[in-house]
Structure formats: structure tokens, C-alpha cells
Chain A
Amino acid sequence: MSIVWAILRKDLVTEWRRRDRVAAMLVFSLLVVVVFHFALPNRATDQAPAGAPGLLWLAYVFAALLGLNRAFALELENDALSALALAPGDRGWVFLGKAASSFALIGVVQAVTAAAFALVFEIDLIAAAPRLAGVVALGTLGICSVGTLFSAMAIRTRFREVLLPILLLPALFPILAGAVRGTAAALAGTPIPFEAIQLLIVVDGIYLIVSFLGFEYVLDE
């Protein structure tokens, strides 16, 4: 576990000093919210648009793609990725450290995006916040698990910016199915459907285990 904490701490410190990854994700996701605002001009002012949960998750996924694409870029500078690969024991712990830092940074962006989204679409975020946070956390856990694995796979290829979305988006279909349903319930103030939570937990578990085990081979040259 010391490897996980070491990487999480290092990534947060370097991001605090660079501020490029969170800034890029934040600006992008806020712009997406503004684009949605102008794309849906004729909605009733007293209720959120029917597609609000899907739109919110679109902003989240696009921001996460940006963030995950940068997750290993820092490690390529000065070949620091080799230092991570030389950590003793199972390289799955390196995966957990990188996934944890992505989870934390994307989480910050999601919180700000949700606030902007609520403002633009006149949603009572305070009432929905606890349930919404739970659903978003489960969805983001899945995105960061499989996203960290694919980001590490793509980073040494020439087409990494293109490869990551191509690999990642299909893998996010089951996560989005559960997350959008859960978010719709949270925004409507109704209980989160058990099937949505179950789907997210199962997919998260599968992605975490597969990524943990697969990371050993991903870091090999």
C-alpha cells in the first residue's frame, strides 16, 4: 500500500505545482456545459431537461478522457515511467496509485462541473448532492480503473491521443448505462434503482481486478 500512497501523493503535489491537468479538464467540461445550455434553448425553465443526466455524464466522460490522456504524460518526461516499473513486487500497486490520483483530480473537476451544470439548468443540487455523489463516485471508479490501464497502454504509442478514446469509450458503455440511470434518479429525488448500483459495482469490480492484474504486462517493454 505504501506504493499507492507514494504515487497518489506525488501526483497531487506535481499537479498542484503544474495545474495543467485539472485546469484543462475544468475549462473543457465547463465549456461543454455552456455548449449544452445554448444547444437546449427552449426547455421549460422550472425543470431540468430530460437528457440532463446524460449531458452531465457526457461532460464528465470528455473531461476524464482529457485527464486520463495526461495521466502518464508526466511519467514519460525523463523516463520516470521506468522508475515506476522498477518498483518491487506487483505492478498492480502502481496501477492503484495512478488510478487513485486520477480519481481525486477528476472528482474535483466533477464537483465544479456539477455546480455549474446545476446553475445553468436550474437544478436543486443541494437536495440531490448525497445520492448524486455516490453514483458519480461509483461511475468514476470504473472510468479511472479501465482508463488508467488503457492510458498506460496507449502512452508509448504514436497515436496515444486517438487510441485512448477508441479503447476507452466502448468499455464505458456499461458504466454509463448504470451511472446515467442512477443520476436521473438522484436529480429527480427518487431512490437510486438497485439494478443501476448493482451494475456499477459489478463493472467496477471487474475493471479493477482486470486492470490490477494486467498492469504487470502493460509496463513491460
Chain B
Amino acid sequence: MSAAVSARGLVKRFGALTALRGIDLDVERGGALAVLGRNGAGKSTLLRVLSGLARPSAGEVSIEGLPQRGGAARRVLGFVGHATMLYAELTARENLVFTGRLLGVDDPGERADHLLEEDGLTEVAHRRVGGLSRGTCQRVAIARALVHDPQVVLLDEPFTGLDRRSADRLGARLGRLRTEGRTLVLVTHEIPQVPQLAESAVVLEAGRIVHSASAPDLDPRALEHWVLGEGERAS
């Protein structure tokens, strides 16, 4: 299987601060990778570099074999950020249609209706996003990221701020994305859920990958130790 997401020697500096220090990773087509680490470890920066939102100071990223530099890879990429990336004044449907137009979808209205129905959002389709709950907004945000039917989806802490019911719904949605054969890269703090969400995981610390594991060796307790900086002692 070829890599859907590939990064080589990624370095990202913000002035004197180095957020990423030589990251190499490959995610196979149809695979799911969880990116773990403490706050400030570089997880979100890694995702933003992979998405093309942030330009790496050094190194290369390719998505589905397309180089991230130049913008072609953005066509095959869906991104769910920490924020919803939705316009509060537009309705859920209008947000999806706008994104569809932005991404060159042939019939954005039909695609928006299909996604809203698939995600059980038809009832809120014509309500302005500004008046929706955080959980519903997050579901609309995921639908927004899928408008152009991307093969690779990057998600930055999608469970943050969700209640139990919304988190369960989101977990089920991510499961469906995996069965559809999409490649997922997911930043999360939900370590106990990692074996359900992904088949491999990397732990970042100070911009470096300090641990990586794949199923069936994806033990949440071991991952927790690595995230807390006790990994080497535990192993």
C-alpha cells in the first residue's frame, strides 16, 4: 500500500521557537493515525503543516502523491480545525454550499443536501450556524470538510467541548469515514478512545516523535505514559 500522507524532515519555526524538529511520518491509504502529546508538543502545528495552512521551514509533505507546495494537494484534503471554520451568519446549508463552490464541487447544493441528510442535520439545514450548539456545529464542520469528497481528512481535537452524546455521535461518524476508506490523521487528547479511532499512533514531545505504535500494540495505558513523559521508564 502506498502512503496517502507522507512527511519527510518537517521543521517549523516561529521566530526563535521551533515547534517541529524533523518529523518523518507515513500514513497508508485508508489508514488512521492518532497524534498525541501534551499541550505545546507541536500536534496542531503538525496538522496545519500537513494541511498546507502553515508553510514548513524545512522538509516536504505530500498528500496522495501530490506535493503540498503549490496547492494541488488541497483538492484531495479535508480539514477539521480546532475552530469550526463556519460563518455564523450563514445557515448550515449555505456554509456547505459556499465551501462546495470554493472547492469547485459540480453541484454544491445537491452535495450539501446529501451530506446534511447523511449526517442527520436536515432539521438544522436552514438555521444559522451562530444559533446552533457546539456539538451540532462540529457535525456541520465535519460535513463541511467532506463537501468535496476528500480522500484524506485531518482533524484537530474534534472532541473538544463536546458532551458525551455529541462525542459518541462524532466517534460513530469517524468510524464511518474509516469504513468508507478515507485516510484520517487525528489530533486528540482522548487516549482511551485511540484504539477505536485509529490503528496507529505517534506521541509528540517538544516537536519530535518520541513514540509510535500500531495495532494490535495500541495500548492506551502505554500511550498515556509516553504522553506524560514517563514512557521510557514504563517500557
Chain A residues close to B by CB (< 8 Å): 2-3, 5-7, 9-10, 13-14, 17-18, 74, 77-80, 82-91, 216, 220-221
**In contact, A86 and B87 (Cβ under 8 angstroms):** no
Which listed segment binds A: B1-9, B52-60, B169-177?
Answer: B52-60
Q: Is B117 an interface residue (CB 8 A)?
A: no
**In contact, B53 and A82 (Cβ under 8 angstroms):** yes
CB-defined A-B contacts under 8 Å, sample of 7: A2-B101, A3-B104, A5-B101, A82-B83, A86-B51, A87-B102, A220-B54
**In contact, B85 and A13 (Cβ under 8 angstroms):** no
**In contact, A83 and B99 (Cβ under 8 angstroms):** yes
Q: Is B124 an interface residue (CB 8 A)?
A: no
Q: Which residues of the partner chain A approach B53 to less than 8 Å between Cβ atoms?
A: 82, 85-86, 220-221
Instruction: Give the docked Cα–Cα distance between A77 and B89 (Å).
Output: 11
**In contact, B94 and A13 (Cβ under 8 angstroms):** yes
Q: Is B81 an interface residue (CB 8 A)?
A: yes
User: How many chain-B residues does the 8 Å CB contact rule pick out?
Assistant: 30
**In contact, B90 and A10 (Cβ under 8 angstroms):** yes
Q: Which of B82, B90, B94, B144 contacts A79 (CB 8 A)?
A: B82
**B3 CB to nearest A CB, Å:** 21
Q: Which residues of the partner chain B approach A13 to less than 8 Å between Cβ atoms?
A: 89-90, 94
Q: Is B62 an interface residue (CB 8 A)?
A: no
Instruction: Give the docked Cα–Cα distance between A126 and B102 (Å).
Output: 40
- 1/0 per residue B42-78: CB within 8 Å of A? 0000001001111100000000000000011011010
- Given A14-B87, A14-B89, A79-B82, 4 new contacts (CB under 8 A): A2-B101, A9-B98, A10-B98, A79-B85
**In contact, B87 and A89 (Cβ under 8 angstroms):** no
**Most chain B beta-carbon contacts within 10 A, residue among A6, A18, A91:** A6
Q: Which of B55, B94, B98 contacts A220 (CB 8 A)?
A: B55
Instruction: Give the docked Cα–Cα distance between A204 and B75 (Å).
Output: 32
**B152 CB to nearest A CB, Å:** 12
Q: Nearest 4 pairs between A and B by C-beta?
A: A6-B101, A79-B83, A221-B54, A88-B75
Q: Which residues of the partner chain B approach A83 to less than 8 Å between Cβ atoms?
A: 85, 99, 102, 144
**In contact, A80 and B102 (Cβ under 8 angstroms):** no
Q: Which residues of the partner chain A approach B75 to less than 8 Å between Cβ atoms?
A: 88
**In contact, A79 and B89 (Cβ under 8 angstroms):** no
Q: Which residues of the partner chain B approach A87 to less than 8 Å between Cβ atoms?
A: 74, 102-103
**In contact, A88 and B104 (Cβ under 8 angstroms):** yes
Q: Which of B48, B52, B86 contacts A80 (CB 8 A)?
A: B86
Q: Which residues of the partner chain A approach B99 to less than 8 Å between Cβ atoms?
A: 83
The residue of chain A having its C-beta at the shortest distance from the C-beta of B48 within the complex is: A221
The residue of chain A having its C-beta at the shortest distance from the C-beta of B78 within the complex is: A86
Q: Which residues of the partner chain A approach B102 to less than 8 Å between Cβ atoms?
A: 2-3, 6-7, 83-84, 87
Instruction: Give the docked Cα–Cα distance between A4 and B103 (Å).
Output: 11
Q: Which residues of the partner chain B approach A216 to less than 8 Å between Cβ atoms?
A: 71
Q: Which of B72, B79, B101, B103 contacts A82 (CB 8 A)?
A: B79
Q: Which residues of the partner chain B approach A3 to less than 8 Å between Cβ atoms?
A: 101-102, 104
* B106-156 at interface with A (beta carbon < 8 Å): 144
**In contact, B54 and A77 (Cβ under 8 angstroms):** no
Q: Which residues of the partner chain B approach A78 to less than 8 Å between Cβ atoms?
A: 83-88
The residue of chain A having its C-beta at the shortest distance from the C-beta of B55 within the complex is: A220
**A186 CB to nearest B CB, Å:** 37
Instruction: Give the docked Cα–Cα distance between A87 and B51 (Å).
Output: 11
**In contact, B79 and A88 (Cβ under 8 angstroms):** no
Instruction: Give the docked Cα–Cα distance between A7 and B72 (Å).
Output: 20
The residue of chain A having its C-beta at the shortest distance from the C-beta of B82 within the complex is: A79
Instruction: Give the docked Cα–Cα distance between A1 and B92 (Å).
Output: 24
Q: Which residues of the partner chain A approach B84 to less than 8 Å between Cβ atoms?
A: 78-79
